[in-house]
Amino acid sequence: MRNLPLSRAGRLALVATLGLLAPATARAADRYMATGLPFFDPYHVAIASIDVADGKVTGTLAAPTGDPRPALPLSGTLANGVLTLTVGQGAEAYRFVFSENERGLHRIFEETTSIPGIDQVTLFRPPAGFSEPALALQHDPEDWCGRVYGGLSVQFRAKDLAATAEAPAAVADLDLVVVPQQGGTATQKLKDAWSRLRLAARGGDDVSVDIAVPVGSEAKHAEDLRRLPQVSAVMLPALCGEMALATIPRARVAEGSTVSEAKLKSYAEAMLSRLLSGAAPEASAAGPRKFKLAGAVVPGVSGPAFKATVTGEAEATRLGKGSVDQFTLTLEPVVTPDDAADTLSLIPTVTDLKSARKAGPQPPADAAFRPADDSSQVAGITQRIVSFIAAAEGTRCAFLTQTAFDEPDGALSCTNIAIDDVSHPDEN
């Protein structure tokens, strides 16, 4: 089992950005995430927009998009990699001194000295900056399983929730995640559970629930919900669940901010051909294994997606043995809260899995395949796809599952790094 590191090219690009905020040249505002600043509780990350002109620093510190609280002014100086920054003004001004560094995924400014027992303040950003969904959404450090798409955690103010007799129209038809008696999860309209939530609010504590939203719509839903008086915070989903993604350079499948159907099809077919043929992730040509791949670009949840019927040896699809897999695969490109401004995530969905005994080098006839009702095999294929893509690109992947799945020997492991966390020095 091998973890996927940040690529050498990625590290060189990151190192090359150090010093770009040169004090002699004016530049557009760079947006950083800032931790350790308790101005926008319960969010652990604030958004710092920083302008530098002739060594003078100006800007703002704000809550995530849609939060009604006003931004705070920033002022200071930048010289020789030392950032002196004041947050606020007058009697409510707080001064910090940072030194410049790079670590993990990010370029960072961290306090030159720290006080034991007090959270250190850190500013950080990837070389290209954050994607808009990343700036709009963040996880709760105390209550998060790792998911970054398909849902949100919504925190209602106890006082306002208890005082609102009916669910506001803006939330009434949202899909609330619930747990049936028989286990698992299901959804019901939030308006149908409103009275139960109001009762919970009578205890005086804010009430947090998870809702399901379409993949790719998370940031827009969060911004809209934050504008409601009953809502105190919106974060990434707290509940555990299924998730798989591989981060790739956006230019691989997009022209600017728009996914290109031709580039997506070409990229997916080339990447899957290498995987199914048994080639190494870093190989430039296909391997020796036989496979079938018939795919096309189709409408997805948030734009074009690649959908294919795949037939390949289990040794290639999931590091299995003695069988051949056949399944339908959808690869959907989505800019998630885990993306930088120059990346997007490929999200795979595996359905209609069938299996046949391997009897030779050629794939069996379609009639030989039988349905394989095995969630662990689906998880294995999904994990293999995202980890292979990440290894081929020298990027990263994320994988979560609730099934009984163990990574096989020789598997590539996903690091599940959150982009709204800055790594510690010993995690490099």
Which three-class secondary structure string do you get for the chain?
CEECCCCHHHHHHHHHHCCCCCCCCCEEEEEEEEECCCCCCCCCEEEEEEEEECCEEEEEEECCCCCCCCCEEEEEEEECCEEEEEECCHHHCEEEEEEEEEECCEEEEEECCCCCCCCCCEEEECCCCECHHHHHCCCCCCCCCCCCCCEEEEEECHHHHHCCCCCCHHHHCCEEEECCCCCCCEEEEHHHHHHHHHHHHCCCCCEEEEEECCCCCHHHHHHHHHCCCCEEEEECCCCCCCEEEEEEEHHHCEECCEECHHHHHHHHHHHHHHHHCCCCCCCCCCCCCCEEEEEEEEECCCCEEEEEEEEEEHHHHCCCCCEEEEEEEEEEEECCCCCECCEEEEEEEEEEEEEEECCCCCCCCHHHCEECCCHHHHHHHHHHHHHHHHHHHCCCEEEECCCCCCCCCCCEECCCCCCCCCCCHHHC
> Which of 235, 265, 281 is the C-terminal boundary of a domain?
235
Q: Are residues 258 and 210 in the same domain?
A: no
For the segment 136-145, the average pLDDT, to the nearest whole number, is 92
Q: Are residues 250 and 210 in the same domain?
A: no
For the segment 400-409, the average pLDDT, to the nearest whole number, is 89
Is 307 a member of any domain? Answer: yes
CATH number at residue 119: 2.40.128
For the segment 149-164, the average pLDDT, to the nearest whole number, is 97
Q: What is the C-alpha separation between 273 and 220, in angstroms, rounded?
A: 36
For the segment 145-150, the average pLDDT, to the nearest whole number, is 95
Q: Are residues 247 and 226 in the same domain?
A: no
Residue 406 confidence (pLDDT): 87
Beta bridge partners of 176: 188, 211
Is 362 a member of any domain? Answer: yes
Q: Are residues 248 and 356 in the same domain?
A: yes
Q: Characterise 224 by phi-psi region: left (phi > 0), alpha (psi -120 to 50), beta (else).
A: alpha
Q: Are residues 249 and 346 in the same domain?
A: yes
**pLDDT value at 1 more than 60:** no
Residue 101 confidence (pLDDT): 87
Confidence grade of residue 12 (pLDDT, cut at 50, 70, 90):
very low
Backbone phi and psi for residue 283, each to the nearest 5 degrees, phi listed first: -70, 150
**pLDDT value at 8 more than 50:** no
For the segment 119-123, the average pLDDT, to the nearest whole number, is 95
**pLDDT value at 3 more than 70:** no
For the segment 324-349, the average pLDDT, to the nearest whole number, is 97
Residue 23 confidence (pLDDT): 44
Q: What is the C-alpha separation between 70 and 60, in angstroms, rounded?
A: 10
**pLDDT value at 261 more than 50:** yes
> Which of 107, 125, 143 is the C-terminal boundary of a domain?
125
Is 138 a member of any domain? Answer: no
Confidence grade of residue 52 (pLDDT, cut at 50, 70, 90):
very high
Higher pLDDT, 421 or 236: 236
Best CA proximity match to 55, nearest among 27, 15, 86: 27
Q: Are residues 211 and 266 in the same domain?
A: no
For the segment 115-124, the average pLDDT, to the nearest whole number, is 95
Confidence grade of residue 405 (pLDDT, cut at 50, 70, 90):
confident
pLDDT, averaged across the chain = 90
Residues 48, 34: contact at Cβ < 8 Å?
A: yes
Confidence grade of residue 426 (pLDDT, cut at 50, 70, 90):
very low
Residue 121 confidence (pLDDT): 96
Q: Are residues 280 and 390 in the same domain?
A: yes
For the segment 111-129, the average pLDDT, to the nearest whole number, is 94
Best CA proximity match to 21, nearest among 109, 136, 135: 109
Is 12 a member of any domain? Answer: no
**pLDDT value at 113 more than 50:** yes
> Which of 204, 235, 266 is the C-terminal boundary of a domain?
235
Instruction: Give the total number of structural domains in the chain.
Output: 3
For the segment 72-90, the average pLDDT, to the nearest whole number, is 96
Is 174 a member of any domain? Answer: yes
**pLDDT value at 29 more than 50:** yes
Q: Are residues 309 and 214 in the same domain?
A: no
Q: Are residues 218 and 281 in the same domain?
A: no
For the segment 251-257, the average pLDDT, to the nearest whole number, is 95
Residue 184 confidence (pLDDT): 86
What one-letter code names the amino acid at 162?
A
Of how many residues is the chain composed?
428
Best CA proximity match to 308, nearest among 357, 267, 368: 267
Write the pLDDT tens digit of every residue in 192-238.
999 999 999 999 999 999 999 999 999 999 999 999 999 999 999 99
For the segment 30-42, the average pLDDT, to the nearest whole number, is 96
Best CA proximity match to 346, nearest among 330, 359, 361: 330
Using CA of residue 293, residue 271, residue 307, residue 373, what is the dihedral sign?
A: positive
**pLDDT value at 170 more than 60:** yes
Angle at 315 between CA 387 and CA 412, to 5 degrees: 25
Is 406 a member of any domain? Answer: no
Residue 27 confidence (pLDDT): 54
Q: What is the C-alpha separation between 319 and 322, in angstroms, rounded?
A: 10
Q: Are residues 180 and 264 in the same domain?
A: no
Residue 423 confidence (pLDDT): 61
Domain span holding position 347: 243-400
Is 62 a member of any domain? Answer: yes
Residues 402, 241: contact at Cβ < 8 Å?
A: yes
By percentage, how much of the chain surpasses pLDDT 90? 81
Residue 290 confidence (pLDDT): 95
For the segment 388-399, the average pLDDT, to the nearest whole number, is 96
For the segment 113-129, the average pLDDT, to the nearest whole number, is 94
Is 421 a member of any domain? Answer: no
Residue 37 confidence (pLDDT): 96
By percentage, how much of the chain surpasses pLDDT 70? 92
For the segment 277-294, the average pLDDT, to the nearest whole number, is 94
Q: Are residues 155 and 110 in the same domain?
A: no
The structure's pTM equals 0.89
For the segment 132-156, the average pLDDT, to the nearest whole number, is 95
Q: Are residues 220 and 189 in the same domain?
A: yes
